[in-house]
């Protein structure tokens, strides 16, 4: 099972033969979806020229998106679902041509599920700067070459403005709900503040009101791991003569990130001090099982992501601060008018619960007038894994 964060929710899950074949093959220079690849369930919205907060101009942008359910004649049943850092628009549906992984929230979205597609029209888009069909560094620039390192710096607010254009293109003036976790929660908050009149209900899952210095520091070492890979070549790796890209650096960045997505309790209970091979790590140079777990998922990640896109999106996360230019965090949160679910995981070491509590204190109308805190050993990934509990609270939000 391949999630947008750690991608493996089953303890000690065996490697499938399909995974083994995938990892035996030489990785491509980039794992980005490219024009000419199977579209799968993606649709595409061309949204014209775009000027970033930093003043850079993109002559045209496109967002890849998917939908489930039926938009009502009144256009009042639309729910926007926003993905985390390395996610995409494929929230529901099998892996297959065009989709390297199965839907990342299958148990939350669908007929009869917490976000019931018999009732709600669900939209999920790959964010601007991503690499699964939306305009990003792996996209072709007007000169016929990939944007690569020339792609402009983006902020979370830039990405939300692109999403607002998508809503306009779909004829959706007001979202019945905007739901996001992790980086998607940053986008959801920005929607509810910058476009308060367009959001009726809001769900912010495992996300902070601002990216802290500690979180920027954790991000910085991941970015440096990519940049230090000789095959990164300053971001100009798409046409490498040998077809090789910065796989080692990107895989290492992913391994670092995974340590923030899971809790010490879960890793210790799951792996202990077991080793992966017949060789004893203490005597024969063998490997501990947790090392092999990180290696596997780091290497698998390079098959579905792009190194330049990873840099672009992590730097966008670093820009997140709802109080910037709004008089501070509390003044910004006071602008939210949507009925809100704020949910955190007690073992989350990436975005600890104190950030979610600050959001709850600043918003006028939250479920139970407080943060919903789930107890889970899965850490930050809990919002993707604890689907029964998360779904229960999403139902409460949508039915209220």
Distance separating alpha carbons of residues 27 and 382, to the nearest angstrom: 30
Average pLDDT over residues 55-62: 98
Instruction: List the domain boundaries for the chain.
Output: 17-399
pLDDT band, very low/low/confident/very high, at 392 (cuts 50, 70, 90): very high
Q: Catalytic site residue 72?
A: no
pLDDT band, very low/low/confident/very high, at 27 (cuts 50, 70, 90): confident
The pLDDT of residue 291 is 87
Out of 158, 348, 377, 381, the active site residue is: 348
Out of 83, 90, 320, 380, the active site residue is: 380
Q: Catalytic site residue 182?
A: yes
pLDDT band, very low/low/confident/very high, at 2 (cuts 50, 70, 90): very low
pLDDT, one tens digit per residue, over 313-324 is 999 999 999 999
Quickly list H helices, the chain: 17-24, 156-169, 183-194, 213-227, 247-261, 264-271, 289-301, 307-318, 329-333, 353-362, 382-385, 387-399
The pLDDT of residue 273 is 84
Out of 134, 182, 319, 376, the active site residue is: 182
For residue 330, pLDDT over 90 is answered with yes
Give the pairing of strands 78-82 and 121-125.
Answer: parallel
**Would you report the helix, strand and coil content of the chain in percent, each value rounded to 5?**
35, 15, 50
Residues 13, 388: contact at Cβ < 8 Å?
no
Specify the CATH superfamily of domain 17-399. Answer: Alpha/Beta hydrolase fold, catalytic domain (3.40.50.1820)
The pLDDT of residue 400 is 76
Distance separating alpha carbons of residues 312 and 157, to the nearest angstrom: 14
Give the three-class secondary structure for 336. Answer: coil
pLDDT, one tens digit per residue, over 194-240 is 999 999 999 999 999 999 999 999 999 999 999 999 999 999 999 87
Q: Catalytic site residue 195?
A: no
For residue 191, pLDDT over 60 is answered with yes
Average pLDDT over residues 339-367: 97
pLDDT, one tens digit per residue, over 145-168 is 999 999 999 999 999 999 999 999
Looking at per-residue pLDDT, the higher value among 320 and 23 belongs to 320
């Amino acid at each position: 099972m391949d999630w947008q964060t750690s991608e493996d929710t089953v303890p000690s899950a065996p490697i499938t033969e399909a995974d083994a074949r995938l990892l035996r093959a030489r990785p491509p220079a980039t794992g980005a979806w490219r024009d000419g690849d199977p579209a799968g369930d993606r649709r595409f919205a061309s949204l014209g020229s775009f000027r970033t907060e930093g003043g850079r101009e993109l002559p045209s942008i496109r967002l890849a998106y998917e939908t489930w359910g039926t938009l009502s004649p009144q256009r009042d049943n639309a729910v926007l679902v926003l993905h985390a850092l390395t996610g995409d628009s494929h929230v529901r549906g099998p892996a297959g041509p065009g989709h390297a992984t199965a839907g990342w929230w299958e148990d939350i979205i669908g007929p009869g599920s917490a976000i019931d597609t018999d009732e709600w029209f669900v939209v999920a888009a790959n964010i601007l700067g991503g690499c699964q069909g939306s305009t990003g560094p792996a996209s072709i620039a007007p000169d016929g070459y990939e944007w690569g390192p020339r792609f402009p710096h983006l902020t979370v607010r830039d990405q939300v403005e692109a999403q607002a254009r998508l809503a306009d293109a779909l004829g959706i003036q007001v979202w019945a709900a905007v739901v996001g976790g992790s980086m998607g929660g940053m986008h959801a908050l920005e929607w509810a503040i910058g476009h308060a009149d367009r959001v009726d209900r809001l769900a912010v899952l495992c996300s902070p009101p601002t990216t802290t210095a500690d979180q920027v520091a954790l991000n910085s070492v991941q970015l440096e791991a990519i940049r230090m890979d000789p095959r990164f070549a300053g971001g100009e790796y798409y046409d490498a003569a040998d077809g090789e890209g910065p796989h080692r650096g990107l895989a290492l960045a992913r391994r670092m990130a995974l340590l923030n997505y899971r809790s010490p309790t879960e890793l210790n209970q799951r792996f202990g001090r077991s080793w992966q091979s017949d060789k004893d790590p203490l005597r024969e140079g063998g490997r501990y099982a947790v090392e092999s777990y990180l290696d596997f998922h780091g290497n698998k990640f390079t098959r579905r992501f792009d190194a330049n896109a990873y840099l672009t999106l992590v730097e966008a996360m670093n820009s997140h601060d709802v109080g910037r230019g709004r008089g501070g965090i509390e003044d910004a949160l006071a602008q939210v008018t949507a009925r809100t679910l704020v949910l955190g995981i007690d073992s989350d070491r990436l975005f600890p619960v104190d950030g979610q509590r600050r959001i709850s204190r600043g918003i006028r109308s939250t479920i139970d007038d407080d943060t919903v805190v789930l107890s889970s050993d899965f850490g930050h990934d809990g919002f993707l894994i604890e689907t029964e509990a998360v779904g229960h609270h999403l139902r409460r939000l949508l039915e209220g």
